[in-house]
Amino acid sequence: MYDSWGDGWNGNDFSLVSSNGNTFFNTTLNSGSFGQSSVCVPSDCYSVTFGCGSWQGEVSWDLVDSNGVVIPVSYTHLRAHETSLHIVCRLLLEK
């Protein structure tokens, strides 16, 4: 998790919501310019929800698999689905 200004995510959060609609994982960067959270997720189709805070343009993240390989996510694609409160995209995460 990254914050280009270095003051944390300003109330923004990152959530993985499983195909049954339950929030499986939620995290944020409380302060600073870098942080990390780890979670093991079962194979499913997840919605990634981001937002609810201010200064969303300062915030970014990488999704990394268990081998340390960054899973490509197009921020252009994410921004195309942005609303005033959330950025939503669909990801298929497999073991």
| 62-72 per-position pLDDT tens digit | 888 788 888 77
pTM of this structure: 0.70
Q: Which two tokens stand for residue 14?
A: 């990152």
CA distances from 57 to 4, 42, 51, 77, 90 (A): 9, 30, 10, 15, 20
Q: Is residue 36 within 8 Å of residue 46, measured between CB atoms?
A: no
| Residue in the block written with tokens 């944020």 | 28
| 28-87 per-position pLDDT tens digit | 999 999 999 988 888 888 778 877 788 888 888 888 878 888 877 655 444 444 444 444
Q: Which two tokens stand for residue 76?
A: 């252009």
